[in-house]
Amino acid sequence: MTTCEKGELMEPLLELKGISKSFPGVQALDDINLDLYPGEVHVLIGENGAGKSTLMKIISGAYQSDEGTMEVDGKQITKNSPIISEQLGIGMIYQELNLIPELSVAKNIFLGHPIKKGFVNQDKKMIQKSREMLKQLNMDVDPSVLVKTLGVGTQQMIEITKALSREANILVFDEPTSSLADAEIHNLFHVIRMLQEKGIGMFYISHRLEEIFEIGDRVTILRDGKKIQTTAVKDINMDQLIEKIAGRKIENLYPHTRKTPGKPLLQINNLSGRAFKNVSLHVDAGEIVGMSGLVGAGRTEVARAAFGIDKYFSGEVILNDKKLKKCSPRESVKHGFCLLPENRKTEGLALPRDVSENMLISALDQTFSFKIGSFGVVDPKKESAIVSQYISSLKIATPTARKLTQFLSGGTQQKVVLAKWLVSKCKVFIFDEPTRGIDVGAKSEIYKLMDTLVEGGAAILMISSDLSEILGMSDRIYVMCHGEINGEFDADEATQSGILQLAFGQKGKEADENEQQE
Amino acid sequence: MNSRNKSFRFSSLPSSTYIFVILLVLFSITVPNFFTPANFSTILEQAGVLVLISIGASFPIMTGGIDLAAGSVISLCGICMGVFLHNGIPDYIAVIGGVLVGTLFGFCNGYLVHKIKVPPFITTFGTMGIAESLANFFSDSRTIYWKENTNVHLIRALKTDLLEIWFGNGNSKLFSISGIVLFIFLVVAASIFIFNKTSWKENIYAIGHNIESARLCGIKVLKFSIGAYAISGCMSGIAAILILVRSNCATPIMGSGMEFQAIVAATIGGNVAEGGKGSIPGSIIGAFAIFIIRNAVNYLGLNSFVSMIITGITLLLGMVINELIAAQDLRKGGVRV
Amino acid sequence: MKKFLSLALAAVFSALTLTGCTIGANGSSTEAASNDSNETVVSAGTADAAAAGTKEINMVFIAKSGQLNFFTDMMDSAEAAAAMLPNVHIKCLAPETAFSADEQIQIIEQSINEGVDAVICTAADSTALAEGVKKCNEAGVLYVAANTKVKEGDVLTWTGIENKEVGYTLAKALCEKLNGQGNIVIFENVAGNQTTEDRLAGFKEAIAEYPGITILDSQPADNDREKGMALMENYLQKYPKIDGTLSVTKDMTLGAIEAAKAAGRNEEMVNVTFDVDSDVLTAIKNGEVYATGDQNGGDQAALAVFSAYEALNGIKVPAEQYLGVTLVTADNVDDYISKAS
Amino acid sequence: MRNNEKGLSWKNKVKYTAYRSSTIVILLLVLAFFEIINMVRGNNYLTMNNISIIINQASFLTLVGLAQLLVVLTGGINLAIGSIMVLVCIMAGQTISEDGNVFFLIPVMIILVLSSAIGWLTGAVVTKRRIPSFIATFAIMYVFRGIGWITMGRSVIYRINPAIRFLAGGRLFSFAGFTITMPVVITLFILLVLGFVLKKSSFGRQLYFTGSNGVSSRFSGVPTDKIVMKAYILSGLLCGVSAVLYTGRLNAVEPSMYGNTHFDAVAVVLIGGASMAGGRGDVWSTAVGAIIITVIQSGMNSIQVPSEFQTFVLGVLIILSVILNQNLQKKKDILENDTKD
């Protein structure tokens, strides 16, 4: 076990000794030791199901550990609960935003511990105090506005403010960046460094490995509920990290090689909708096109509108030289055009239904033993033949086709969504944040599948907030900003800073010229 | 990062306001005797029951649940109060006892929903029958009345007119505020105050939005989620007082069917089943909107089935208007950064 | 019905002339009566002769429910009666929730606001409506109790039948028909309804006079055909021999007959029920129902309207006006059928 | 999570079967309860005859339960069931009565077409205007009831066409006291067809999928609005079938009928283990749910429980059965997804 240099001088803020926790049938955590020092960012990393979240839930008091002890400031905590951990100065910032959209910023910040006089809330005092706290984090937000009017990045900052408002000196970040774009991440890191200087200790969970090197002091790797190693970040490199996380060697995370592009399969011309305008782009056969931009720049909205979920005001979507007449997902699917949505669990799958049903839902006609019009009867033999074919070809990790998708891991779920579209013989794919919340091992499998698809002549538009993914996988890259396409790169010319500049709203070359003319 | 200016926006009004204003204007023009002070004081007093249980109904709805038992709990509470009074128990004790019964019943609903995890629709659907049975059992399925004795000071006080404005030679009452109206006003004011000024609003919103994350925020989830049903029960109890005072007796069917009217009022008022939002004034205005339909239809002397059709269509219309305004708001919202 | 109306009307006007309350001018009597062309002839003629009052009279009739034939019949009769009277306007209302006493009180309050002269109400609850009567008394509005009495307050008059007597008459008819020997089952209405309780008390009183008659079972079927049918199916399954059925309202009997027919046991029993409607009359004609009671709901309503009119014109009316119950059997059913059509 | 694959032991298989058929477990418990009480009193509750009466009564309840189930599967609720049943019969008018003297299929077709059209209308209000089904169907119930009254007024349609009455009550054959009736056959047929459609057809698949997650269905190119529409149309159609059978059974149509049918239907579906959130529930469990309710009602009649307690017992039973169902389902999910994993 390596110890941080700082640690030798100070008492740990928090110490976990021999923590074990099991759920029916699963040993989630097995004898974990962990410590956190003031002013340190301690990164926890591991595949999904490695036990990171369970560990953090034990720290926050949402779960009770079966064995082991927890010490905060040298004092042993016998009984923990969300309320006790809060009193101990532990603040949690979760992956999903937990703010209440219909409440004001100030009310959200003080949710669960309002400033009161007797029974009555002191609204003015809370607004004033929120303003002060937000200012400390360099945030210029009016604390009396409703949270629903704010962007995702701002909301994440409010989550942090919320945790700090409880005078936390231990913060736990559970994938805080999964819904943030790079620019917002920079802002977040800036804040984290400020907090570091104040002596606050932080646990930081992330699937984005490059973040670890940017922000982490120490890193602990977990696998299958066991601690593999704790080490100073500077003592480890990316490849070693990946190997330790996966427990095996992953040669190349981004396997994609450039193919010779064929004719354009997807063309979007001058599409304007609620959150975007005049978007034109094309994706050719054999091409993976990346789409980058800040969260809220309108990327997902373009994808949704093109696929037919939302109505667009003007413009056209052309698939394989045929214009889509109706704006509906059904029409798109008929033309071999599909969308893998960013929220797998709510938009991609029906979790209470099994793998087979999910996989076949858009291609039921292939399983019919007979049909009258659109009404057909599903033949169970055909059904199981198709499903088992895709389960094996995509290596979907499920014991049977009848397993409910809610019991599958994130990567497996994403494969089921992909299989659904492969069954429907789709050729044009929009992947919206394809690897969000998916661990490294599964990520590389998804990337391999994407590469195989374009090998077979498919066209892929990949929306991602992960710049390294964009740079690693794309042949061409569009950058969106404020609802418009702000520029385009060839993958060979693209750089991280170049993309960021465009994403932040600095005009691309063409736009610059236009502006000069005006 | 667009911090909005606080200028007036239609969409920030409780959504029931539109249909209420439309109906109010329409009836004022077309219905004789509608737009008169006397009628307004009548409406204020009569609508009280619906207003109170609509407030009660909005709490479970805001947590993402529903309380179908509210109506039969009114009957149960009323019967309990009636039985107490019948046996000569002083009225303030009887009334408090009845409200406690309602609160307890609501508490049991909440306990089943949030502790035993029976879906709210099923829980309250079941307890609706239970409350109905109990009301019939305690009353032996009969109307309960009591002797006009010295024990009913409170009831008498509620009945007296506190403020009366007479017109002309003293034959026509122009406007009056009775003890009941004052009582309703106090309860409504108290519930709005408690909801907005103490932690109820944010905690209930948080629970309705996501109960697990509310728990992780350190909110005492059970206290507030069960509390929401208890409040609904309590409001049913208070509503029972009103009916009791107004009719001077208690019947085992006095609250039947009211849960639906209350849920409809709350829904028009923007308390939607997804939970995590909603407003008390919305429910109140919603209740008035429903009530003035009945009032106007009575003045017009229409058949009760014509009034059914009008009520049904108005409901649909109200929901459509809500929908349109929400869509308009969304369109104006533009890009969120 | 028409016969009753014109007879009663004649009585009203003769009373008016006798007491000398004649105020000239015939005014807008034809307009008021134009609702029903058949009645117009009668009323216009009589009105001219009687030369009734000129002042506009507004009345409101409040039923217990707008969704039961018995009450809609009453509403129609009230309207027809008012149409015969000069310058009388009537509004017939019913609570949205059937049998809601609170809503009836609400309607009374509104009517007082509106300035009606008389409220005619079939009280959904005789205790609760005492509050409504009180409000009428305070505002100086006449309250007429039709069909159901009110426990307290200053009521102008009550028109109706004695439900216990009704029960007694019906049960007696059944017992006589069975020659004082046999097993019977009873269908009750929604528990807690005063009318039901009274009728049941009447049943029991009559049956007590016949030691040979046994009540096998007495359960409620909530005045509902389907429930009556299901209950009868249970009775049939449980009791090998049922000689007669008694019911407080007709829908349950009609459901029960269907059940008995389905079981092929309809010949075995004598059915006695209450209230008149075309389906019951047909059933009597077909011999499926032995007897039913007619409480002349329309007459109750019309009499209430006339009484209010008389009182408003200064004539004293008796405090209670009983209307008899007619037993309808195969003997007189044809009169009813022809009347109905 | 990744344990070795292993099949179910026979013990687990028994458990698994019990978990899957939780509704039947409840039925057996209820039956045992009444049988024991009756036995203590020296009666026999489960006679062949009584069982066939229960099944006959339950077949009607099953139909309205199925009408509700289709909407519940979409995550909605249909409060307009009873009012649709009345309205279509009223619209069919005299054609369904003996006096109409038309071939029975004509009124039946009229009713089925009308009820499907009304189902379509209900579905349109819910899908096109995005009004929560609770509010939409509540409002529609009001409107339809009102229209029913206006069209029909006070009259009663009775003496229904004998062919329709045969559909609703015809006895096909008896075997050892157990009688098979037409409604049982019709309901069984509908159960088979609907069960097949829901389990095996593309529509069924899409309906369950939409009910489980409407958003992801839309993202999968399922025409969700159309599917929901079809569910409402089918629900309307089943209301029509129920209307025909109920009318034949009761031998009459009155506008006030079926006031609580939507509630009965909800109770049937819930006891049958469906989830109000949608996507869970099946036709056979619904049928068992209907039988459970019928058994409770007839059982309570047989041991002479006062009627005010029947709602009490029903309420307790709904809650208990859902708790039991939930626990068994959870265990089933664990067995399915962990042991086999």
What ipTM goes with this model?
0.81
Predicted confidence (pLDDT) per residue in A280-299, tens digit: 999 998 899 999 887 777 88
- Within a domain: A44: yes
User: Is the Cβ pair A353, D334 closer than 8 Å?
Assistant: no
User: Is the Cβ pair C237, D156 closer than 8 Å?
Assistant: no
Counting CB pairs under 8 A, whether chains C and A reach 3 or more, is no
- Burial A394-429, CB ≥16 within 10 A → b, else e: bebbbbbbebbbebbbbbbbbbbbbbbbbbbebbbb
Indicate the average pLDDT of chain A: 83
Query: Is B316 at the interface with chain D, CB within 8 A?
Result: yes
Identity of the residue in D202, D215, D334 whose CB atom sits nearest the CB atom of A346: D215
For the ranges A355-359, A442-446, B144-148, D239-243, the lowest mean pLDDT is seen at B144-148
- Within a domain: B17: no
Residues A26 and A52 in one domain: yes
Which domain range does residue A79 map to? 5-89+169-246
Determine the distance in angstroms separating the CA of A299 from the nearest CA of chain B, rounded to an integer. 11
Identity of the residue in D250, D258, D301 whose CB atom sits nearest the CB atom of C234: D301
Query: Is D16 at the interface with chain A, CB within 8 A?
Result: no
- Within a domain: A141: no
Determine the distance in angstroms separating the CA of B105 from the nearest CA of chain C, rounded to an integer. 23
Query: Is A102 at the interface with chain B, CB within 8 A?
Result: yes
Reply yes or no on whether the pLDDT at C51 is more than 80: no
Cα B206 to Cα B189: distance, rounded to the nearest angstrom: 23
Determine the distance in angstroms separating the CA of B58 from the nearest CA of chain C, rounded to an integer. 22
Count the Cβ atoms, other than its own, within 10 Å of residue A323: 11
Determine the distance in angstroms separating the CA of A442 from the nearest CA of chain D, rounded to an integer. 15
Closest Cα in chain A to D6? A399
Residues A240 and A269 in one domain: no
Query: Is B215 at the interface with chain A, CB within 8 A?
Result: yes
pLDDT band (50, 70, 90) for residue A154? confident
User: Is the Cβ pair B136, C191 closer than 8 Å?
Assistant: yes
User: Is the Cβ pair C69, D156 closer than 8 Å?
Assistant: yes
Q: What residues contact residue D197 under an 8 Å CB cut-off, 6+ apart?
A: D203, D204
Which domain range does residue B54 map to? 48-283
Predicted confidence (pLDDT) per residue in A380-432, tens digit: 888 899 999 999 888 888 888 888 888 887 788 888 998 999 888 888 999 99
| Residue A345 confidence (pLDDT) | 84
- Within a domain: B152: yes
| Residue B227 confidence (pLDDT) | 94
CATH of the domain at A511: 3.40.50.300
Chain D positions in Cβ-Cβ contact with residue A353 (cut-off 8 Å): 208-209, 212-213, 279
| Residue D85 confidence (pLDDT) | 93
What token pair was written down for C270? 């004598």
pTM: 0.84
Chain C positions in Cβ-Cβ contact with residue D251 (cut-off 8 Å): 254, 258
User: Is the Cβ pair B126, D319 closer than 8 Å?
Assistant: yes
Determine the distance in angstroms separating the CA of A438 from the nearest CA of chain B, rounded to an integer. 22
Residues A289 and A433 in one domain: yes
Residues A368 and A490 in one domain: no
Residues A320 and A384 in one domain: no
pLDDT band (50, 70, 90) for residue B67? very high
Determine the distance in angstroms separating the CA of D243 from the nearest CA of chain C, rounded to an integer. 12
Reply yes or no on whether the pLDDT at C30 is more than 70: no
Predicted confidence (pLDDT) per residue in B238-257, tens digit: 999 998 888 888 888 888 88
Predicted confidence (pLDDT) per residue in C307-338, tens digit: 999 999 888 888 888 887 888 888 888 888 87
Burial of C88 (0-12, 13-18, 19+ CB in 10 A): buried
pLDDT band (50, 70, 90) for residue C34? very low
Residue labelled with tokens 């169970």 = A380
Chain A positions in Cβ-Cβ contact with residue B334 (cut-off 8 Å): 274-275
Where do the domains of chain C lie?
2-159+297-323, 163-294
Identity of the residue in D153, D250, D255 whose CB atom sits nearest the CB atom of C229: D250
Q: Which of A431, A15, A18, A45 is nearest to A222 (CA)?
A: A45
Same fold, C2-159+297-323 and C163-294: yes
| Residue C25 confidence (pLDDT) | 34
Reply yes or no on whether the pLDDT at A517 is more than 60: no
Burial of D214 (0-12, 13-18, 19+ CB in 10 A): buried
Predicted confidence (pLDDT) per residue in D267-279, tens digit: 899 888 888 888 8
Identity of the residue in A113, A121, A275 whose CB atom sits nearest the CB atom of B197: A121
User: Coil, strand or helix: which one is D316?
Assistant: helix
User: Is the Cβ pair D319, B267 closer than 8 Å?
Assistant: no
User: Coil, strand or helix: which one is A21?
Assistant: strand
Reply yes or no on whether the pLDDT at C23 is more than 60: no
Chain A positions in Cβ-Cβ contact with residue B199 (cut-off 8 Å): 114, 116, 121
| Residue C37 confidence (pLDDT) | 37
Q: How many residues does this entry show for chain C?
A: 341
Chain D positions in Cβ-Cβ contact with residue C258 (cut-off 8 Å): 169, 249-251
Of all residues in chain A, what percent carry a pLDDT higher than 70? 92
Identity of the residue in B143, B246, B298 whose CB atom sits nearest the CB atom of C93: B298
Mutate to test the interface with A, among D194, D206, D216 (most CBs of A within 10 A): D216
Average pLDDT of the segment spanning C134-160: 89
Identity of the residue in C220, C222, C230 whose CB atom sits nearest the CB atom of D57: C230
Indicate the average pLDDT of chain D: 86
pLDDT band (50, 70, 90) for residue D289? very high
Q: Which domains does chain D have, with CATH numbers?
A: 45-290 (1.10.3470)
Residue labelled with tokens 């999903």 = A96
User: Is the Cβ pair C233, D53 closer than 8 Å?
Assistant: yes
Identity of the residue in A83, A142, A296 whose CB atom sits nearest the CB atom of B336: A296
Reply yes or no on whether the pLDDT at D43 is more than 70: yes
pLDDT band (50, 70, 90) for residue A508? low
| Residue C50 confidence (pLDDT) | 45
User: Is the Cβ pair D201, A397 closer than 8 Å?
Assistant: no
Reply yes or no on whether the pLDDT at C65 is more than 70: yes
Of all residues in chain D, what percent carry a pLDDT higher than 90? 37
What token pair was written down for A468? 């390294």
Determine the distance in angstroms separating the CA of B327 from the nearest CA of chain D, rounded to an integer. 11
Residues A85 and A174 in one domain: yes
| Residue D287 confidence (pLDDT) | 95
For the ranges A304-318, B18-32, C38-52, D318-332, the lowest mean pLDDT is seen at C38-52
User: Is the Cβ pair B202, A482 closer than 8 Å?
Assistant: no
Determine the distance in angstroms separating the CA of D295 from the nearest CA of chain B, rounded to an integer. 17
User: Is the Cβ pair C191, D307 closer than 8 Å?
Assistant: yes
Q: Domain boundary at A181, A211, A246, which?
A: A246
Query: Is D50 at the interface with chain C, CB within 8 A?
Result: yes
- Within a domain: B315: no
Q: What residues contact residue C264 under an 8 Å CB cut-off, 6+ apart?
A: none
Determine the distance in angstroms separating the CA of D52 from the nearest CA of chain A, rounded to an integer. 34
- Radius of gyration from C-alpha coordinates of chain A: 24
Q: Domain boundary at A246, A267, A295, which?
A: A246
Reply yes or no on whether the pLDDT at B7 is more than 60: no
Identity of the residue in D3, D203, D209 whose CB atom sits nearest the CB atom of A375: D203
User: Is the Cβ pair C91, B39 closer than 8 Å?
Assistant: no
Reply yes or no on whether the pLDDT at B50 is more than 50: yes
In the C/D pair of chains, how many CB contacts fall below 8 A?
Answer: 72
Average pLDDT of the segment spanning D182-191: 95
Indicate the average pLDDT of chain C: 80
Query: Is C73 at the interface with chain D, CB within 8 A?
Result: yes
Helices (DSSP H) in C85-215: which residue ranges?
101-114, 129-139, 163-177, 194-208
Q: Categorise residue B191: left if φ over 0, alpha if ψ from -120 to 50, beta otherwise.
A: alpha
Chain A positions in Cβ-Cβ contact with residue B2 (cut-off 8 Å): 149
Residues A176 and A238 in one domain: yes
| Residue A164 confidence (pLDDT) | 79
pLDDT band (50, 70, 90) for residue B5? very low
Q: What residues contact residue B312 under an 8 Å CB cut-off, 6+ apart?
A: D138, D139, D140, D141, D142, D143, D146
Query: Is B121 at the interface with chain D, CB within 8 A?
Result: yes
Residues A404 and A514 in one domain: no
Closest Cα in chain D to A409? D1
Between positions 219 and 248 of C, the ones with CB within 8 A of D are: 219-220, 222, 224-226, 229-231, 233-234, 237-238
Reply yes or no on whether the pLDDT at C35 is more than 50: no
Average pLDDT of the segment spanning A460-482: 87
| Residue C33 confidence (pLDDT) | 35
Of all residues in chain A, what percent carry a pLDDT higher than 90? 9
Of all residues in chain D, what percent carry a pLDDT higher than 70? 95
Predicted confidence (pLDDT) per residue in B133-185, tens digit: 999 889 887 788 887 766 677 777 777 777 776 665 545 566 778 888 889 99
CATH superfamily for domain C163-294: Response regulator (3.40.50.2300)
- Radius of gyration from C-alpha coordinates of chain B: 21
Counting CB pairs under 8 A, whether chains B and C reach 3 or more, is yes
Q: How far is CA B298 from the centre of its chain?
A: 21
Query: Is D154 at the interface with chain A, CB within 8 A?
Result: no
What total number of domains does chain A contain?
Answer: 3
Predicted confidence (pLDDT) per residue in A337-347, tens digit: 999 988 888 88
Average pLDDT of the segment spanning C104-110: 89
| Residue C38 confidence (pLDDT) | 38
Could you give the count of Cα atoms lying within 13 Å of B269 in the half-sphere of its Cβ?
29
Query: Is B73 at the interface with chain D, CB within 8 A?
Result: no
Q: Domain boundary at A397, A425, A453, which?
A: A425
pLDDT band (50, 70, 90) for residue A88? confident
Residues A187 and A269 in one domain: no
Indicate the average pLDDT of chain B: 84
Reply yes or no on whether the pLDDT at B329 is more than 60: yes
Query: Is D200 at the interface with chain A, CB within 8 A?
Result: yes
User: Is the Cβ pair B320, D308 closer than 8 Å?
Assistant: no
Predicted confidence (pLDDT) per residue in D93-139, tens digit: 888 888 877 888 899 999 999 999 999 999 999 998 888 888 899 99
What chains are in contact with D, requiring at least 3 Cβ pairs below 8 Å?
A: A, B, C
Average pLDDT of the segment spanning C20-28: 35
CATH number for the region C2-159+297-323 comes to 3.40.50.2300
Q: Which of D103, D85, D70 is nearest to D232 (CA)?
A: D70
